[in-house]
Amino acid sequence: MNADDFILLREEAKNHLVNELLPFWLTRMQDDVNGGFITHFDKDGNDTGEDEKSLIAQTRCLYTLSSAHHAGYGDGDLADLAKHGFEFMINKMWDHEYGGFFWMLDRKGKVKIDQKIIYGHSFAIYSLSEYTLATGDPRGQEYAGKVFNLIQQFGSDTMYGGYREMFHRNWMLCGPGSQGGDRKTLDVHMHLMEAFTTLYECTGEDVHRRKLLEVIDLLNNHIIHPVYKTGIPQFCKDWTVAPQIKFDIIWGWDRFSEEGMKGNATDNTCYGHNVEFVWLFIHALEVLNIDPISYSSLFKTILDHTVENGIDYEYGGVYVEGPHSGGVYDREKEFWQQAEVLIGLLDGIIMFDDQKYGDAYKNVHRFVFDKVINKGIGEWYPLISRRGDPIWTHMGNSWKTNYHTVRSMIQSIKRIDKILSLK
């Protein structure tokens, strides 16, 4: 692609961000009655009334608003709304008895699920740190530090390394199997890398740097496939690969059989996670002041795996998942994978200046703008058929908010600016 191509793609992204995505949320998400954010919207953008405020959705909304303000959008409105959400988090979601954030409240702030889930706490650290970076309010950093300490205290596995992930309210480890107490996941450890990156960016503290470097080592030594460098979703506590199962506490989009099993449960990798890992890792290295070029062959291996297996060159976009050695199992399209692959492919273009990453980026970008965005509403359909027809159509719920979509646009615009500055 030449500079003109990138300028057009950038304009499309910026217009979507400023005139569609941010207004969609700004006009709907503030809960004036109960505090915090309303996050459940149907395909027409109407509040579904679902009586839930999830840790995931509240923290992700806080991140979105903070990061968009931080990136220069919103003329201060986003920071004000971020503060509104922050107050709800520390006043209603924080457990003053045992520490940490509850997993699920109702809209009024009454606790529905009191478990302490590290996945949610990784987003707490990420969003609270970004909130302080964006607004200067020191309370975000203070609570991010508290959560970091709780994760070290209760989560760190001092025998095998890494973190335990599922706890009861009092931080007793959950049982095995679907309770998740005996599992370690790519998801949690990758998002802890993401969280510790922004925490360290915010605090500059030695211990935050050190534990960020350790989780990077964990991802590289245990969690990505030794040969293909693709992400492995689930492990036993000793890092032997575990068959991918559904947990009682769900946090995302993975679809399972009635029995809670995943097809190809031990040979399954997800393109969106793999490319998200690339760009989050590059960002972590930049914050750590380590030149990402030292890992360039790793990044190329991972990006090539997705470009060669995960991109749908017929109908556009990124597939869901496939085997580590190549091929595809699931040809549907999940919104968040499109969002993350856009950012990672732009990093690939910056690092390698390789035409195939440009082609893949343009492919996914077009699929997003032509098929994934719910036209006239402004947010993305969560699940789309291979050909581009919406399967799930809600615009928001406890697991889908604005984190992937808004971040994808902000980060893409930044990267295209960098590409244009290099041309």
The binding site for a copy of itself (CB under 8 A) comprises: 148-149, 152-154, 156-163, 170-173, 206-207, 210-211, 214-215, 217-218, 221
Q: Are 109 and 53 in contact (CB under 8 A)?
A: yes
| Least separation in angstroms between CB 88 and a copy of itself | 27
Place of tokens 């990672």: 344
Length of the chain: 423
| Least separation in angstroms between CB 146 and a copy of itself | 11
| Least separation in angstroms between CB 199 and a copy of itself | 13
Nearer to a copy of itself, 171 or 352 (CB): 171
Strand order in the sheet with 390-392: 333-334, 383-384, 390-392
Nearer to a copy of itself, 161 or 388 (CB): 161
3-class DSSP state of 380: strand
Nearer to a copy of itself, 152 or 385 (CB): 152
Nearer to a copy of itself, 38 or 212 (CB): 212
| Least separation in angstroms between CB 147 and a copy of itself | 12
Nearer to a copy of itself, 204 or 376 (CB): 204
CA distances from 14 to 7, 20, 21, 400, 410 (A): 10, 9, 10, 21, 8
Nearer to a copy of itself, 99 or 323 (CB): 99
| Least separation in angstroms between CB 227 and a copy of itself | 21
Separation between Cα atoms, residue 330 and residue 320, nearest integer Å: 5
| Least separation in angstroms between CB 105 and a copy of itself | 25
Name the token pair of 187: 């998801």
| Least separation in angstroms between CB 149 and a copy of itself | 5
Nearer to a copy of itself, 217 or 291 (CB): 217
Place of tokens 């509040």: 47
Nearer to a copy of itself, 69 or 183 (CB): 183
CA distances from 147 to 90, 119, 137, 144, 206 (A): 12, 12, 17, 5, 16
Separation between Cα atoms, residue 309 and residue 328, nearest integer Å: 7
Nearer to a copy of itself, 82 or 212 (CB): 212
| Least separation in angstroms between CB 151 and a copy of itself | 9
Nearer to a copy of itself, 117 or 320 (CB): 117
| Least separation in angstroms between CB 277 and a copy of itself | 17
Separation between Cα atoms, residue 186 and residue 58, nearest integer Å: 22
Name the token pair of 400: 């889908």
Among 320, 324, 286, residue whose Cα is nearest residue 302: 324
Q: Are 198 and 126 in contact (CB under 8 A)?
A: yes
3-class DSSP state of 209: helix
Separation between Cα atoms, residue 152 and residue 148, nearest integer Å: 6
Among 208, 321, 318, residue whose Cα is nearest residue 254: 321
Separation between Cα atoms, residue 381 and residue 338, nearest integer Å: 11
Name the token pair of 101: 């954030």
| Least separation in angstroms between CB 345 and a copy of itself | 29
Q: Are 147 and 100 in contact (CB under 8 A)?
A: yes
